[in-house]
Structure 1
């Protein structure tokens, strides 16, 4: 039995951090995974490449991936996606809310209401909607026994784990990003509140707060990379993070190894916020 005997559900999965998280689950023994993203072609490509690599013989007991493209700002789509995952796999054990959008780098008076709403709808509201839909299922399902033990001691069973992706800018702010910073601070606040509410149901809720990570978004152009140079240099480690470094932290928080970690905002930023 691997580290992840249950069912993983990941939003924003098609590329970047999301794709690294899906890959990490598959490589760590999770055999039932549901993924979504608005990027339909990239989502299908990820599914195809992972199945070819992890389950090339199409073993029915091997890796199975349900890929359903859609817009997670739509409540009806979220309900459809979460219901499809439950119908296909019977339960949901690890939810990772990764889908997010960047920041316009303008002061509040220069940001249109539509931009503000879009940032918050994707970064915060969608995570809340996905969590709400998955938590309904988690609270009603039987706990999943921990696959790990240590000298006869076994960790408590859990009904589920939720990991939200926030940001270092949910804890500290920077100029020109009020809507983005607020949306990520909201994710951290939601994480802590849900952790309190669902502890009695044996469900853990945590979040990861990445710093500047090397993705398609941050390396889109030399102008973008140059604009991020100051933020990168503030961090004592002086470099961008790698998507797999973020994925490793998400996998830890999702796993039985983090069985006593609850309501935590894990900062993975090369030291940015301490400097």
Structure 2
């Protein structure tokens, strides 16, 4: 029996880490996957990849800009209409933004990062949990009690330690860790698990301009960029019943960056 008999929802699934998470759900046996992204091209690429590699998987692509509340609400409604439930919600949509000290920032730049990374994630999570609270747990692979739903938020190792020149990004990711912990407390009585993953520098289009020998890469004990698959593996573990007693955690996937 698959670890993932239910419905997965992945935001930011048009590229990078989010794309790999959606693909990995299909690879691990999930047969109903909804993907959100702000661009249709990325959505269609992810959908095409999954359907070619894993025939029989039902993929629902929905164009959603997480800065727009109505698009999130309508997108979640489409998922429920087609699949009737959401079991594994991965809130991955996010941006990095400019690199400069606070006094050089425009308010609009700050707001764009917070509206995308934090406010958008919170609205997604709010809508997801509303439906999870109303559904019954699915059977698990080994008979242990299941949960009504699992939410994994995408934070960052820069939510745990700070980097120069990225005040808004750092703050948004720290806030995600805090919201994750709060929601884990609030929704434990409803049998919903809420955790987050804190990646370091991962080899995606977002980090393409960072060379392999950059100080930010070499400072980590493992001295390399991570791969999207390595982050996806952590996300799928937290989403699965094998993580049934993990609640409110911040799983760091950064090659040891934060311990150095």
TM-score (normalised: structure 2): 0.98
Which SS does the other structure have where 1:67 is aligned?
Answer: strand
Which SS does the other structure have where 2:204 is aligned?
Answer: coil
* Residue matched to 2:62: 68
Structure 2, gaps ≥5 residues long: none
CA contact (8 A) 1:146 1:158 kept: no
CA contact (8 A) 2:187 2:193 kept: yes
Structure 1, gaps ≥5 residues long: 56-61
Task: Note the C-alpha offset of 1:44.
Answer: 0.8
CA contact (8 A) 1:145 1:158 kept: no
* Alignment partners' CA distance in 2, 1:15 and 1:226: 20
CA contact (8 A) 1:191 1:206 kept: yes
1:143 to 137, 144, 149: 137
2:181 matched to 1:197?
no
Q: Could you say what the CA RMSD is over the residues aligned between the two structures, in angstroms?
A: 1.1
* Alignment partners' CA distance in 2, 1:80 and 1:228: 43
Matched length: 260
* Alignment partners' CA distance in 2, 1:93 and 1:201: 14
* Residue matched to 1:59: none
* Alignment partners' CA distance in 2, 1:134 and 1:181: 25
Task: Note the C-alpha offset of 1:110.
Answer: 0.5
2:204 matched to 1:210?
no
* Residue matched to 1:172: 161
CA deviations over 1:116-159 (Å, ceiling 9, x no partner):
00001111111100000010000011122222x2xxxx321210
CA contact (8 A) 2:203 2:225 kept: yes
CA deviations over 1:175-230 (Å, ceiling 9, x no partner):
111111000000000000000000011100000000000001111xxxx3249811
Task: Note the C-alpha offset of 1:168.
Answer: 0.3
Q: Which consecutive aligned stretches of 4+ in structure 1 deviate over 4 angstroms post-superposition?
A: none
Structure of greater Rg? 1
Which SS does the other structure have where 1:66 is aligned?
Answer: strand
1:115 to 94, 109, 133: 109
Q: Relative to structure 1, is the Cα distance of residues 206 and 105 closer, same or farther in structure 2, using a 3 angstrom cutoff?
A: same
Task: Note the C-alpha offset of 1:103.
Answer: 3.1
2:234 matched to 1:234?
no
* Alignment partners' CA distance in 2, 1:225 and 1:63: 35
2:254 matched to 1:260?
no
Q: Relative to structure 1, is the Cα distance of residues 265 and 246 closer, same or farther in structure 2, using a 3 angstrom cutoff?
A: same
Q: Relative to structure 1, is the Cα distance of residues 228 and 90 closer, same or farther in structure 2, using a 3 angstrom cutoff?
A: farther
* Alignment partners' CA distance in 1, 2:189 and 2:138: 15
Which SS does the other structure have where 1:217 is aligned?
Answer: helix
